[in-house]
Chains A and B, each alone.
Chain A
Amino acid sequence: MIQIISLLLGSLFGGGLYLAGMTNPKKVLNFMDIMGNWDPSLIFVMAGAIPVAVIGYRLMLCRAVPIIFNSIQIPSIAAVDARLVIGSLIFGVGWGISGLCPGPAFATVLIQPQVTAVYLVALIAGSLAYKQFHR
């Protein structure tokens, strides 16, 4: 049951990325290129996604436990620290170089492997490198 629901949520996410145009790295880079051929479409992705997610979050807060799992596991750290800012800074540079963040990279691995496969290998390497350095 959990697996099927998870498959469904992943399908919604992947279908949404594809429909939204986020699976096209050029479109993502054009969104960031505010001084060039700016394509503001991705603002509409956020504007579509966030209100729906807010409702889900609020409904979750109304319950003692989620519907499927038996406990809520939402990050509870509140402090903004250097790791958060430096990590996000590094992420932004990588995103701006490639036009790909993790979700769209997975969503396109079968569609445009010539672009995505090498990126995914490097993505996994970066994630594992973090694990090595910060035990």
Chain B
Amino acid sequence: MTEFTPISSALGGILIGLSAFGGFLLFGRVIGMSGMMAKVLGHDLGKSAWRAFFFLGLIGIPWILSITISPPHDAQPFNPLALILGGFLVGYGTRLGSGCTSGHAICGISRLSKRSIVATCTFMVSAVVTVFVTRHIFGVMQ
């Protein structure tokens, strides 16, 4: 069980939205995690220096928050196989599908992109089905 947190989740959403807001208005770009990661991993790191700074904030601020304002939730043990398989499929699938939750579900829906709406519906449904199969058919409780 996790607690239902509509207010903090909506406030967090607004901050995420502000990041996307800035990405559009200041940079003229979609703030998409999988795409930015692929660019940073690519050969043109010189051109991607600004993206590396984005990741610095993305990685650093939650850590600072976790040791100052609010402690993190308890990190329960996770099956390493699920993390390896999950990570690989997310890495491959988001490149094939040109985006993940940030690029499609937040930025893409905000621009009413038909591709992003289709992508979001697809990965939401496949995630729900996956959780149903793992938790309720195979009984693996992650």
Contact = CB atoms under 8 A, between A and B. Distances in A.
Interface of A: 2-27, 29-30, 32-37, 39-42, 44-57, 59-60, 63, 65-69, 71-75, 77-80, 83-103, 105-112, 114-115, 118-131, 134
Nearest to A100: B86
A127 B21 CA distance: 26
Contacts of B125: 92
Given A7-B56, A9-B26, A102-B34, 20 more contacts: A6-B54, A10-B58, A19-B65, A22-B12, A33-B131, A41-B9, A46-B109, A48-B11, A49-B106, A67-B25, A75-B30, A87-B119, A90-B93, A92-B125, A96-B129, A100-B83, A114-B75, A119-B86, A122-B83, A129-B92
A63 B25 CA distance: 9
Chain B interface: which size bin? 35 or more
Given A35-B136, A105-B87, A125-B91, A16 B19 contact: yes
Looking at chain A's contact residues, the main secondary structure is helix
A118 B97 contact: no
A111 B66 contact: yes
B87 A123 contact: yes
Contacts of A49: 13-14, 16-17, 20, 106
Contacts of A80: 114-115, 118
Given A47-B10, A54-B110, A87-B94, A32 B87 contact: no
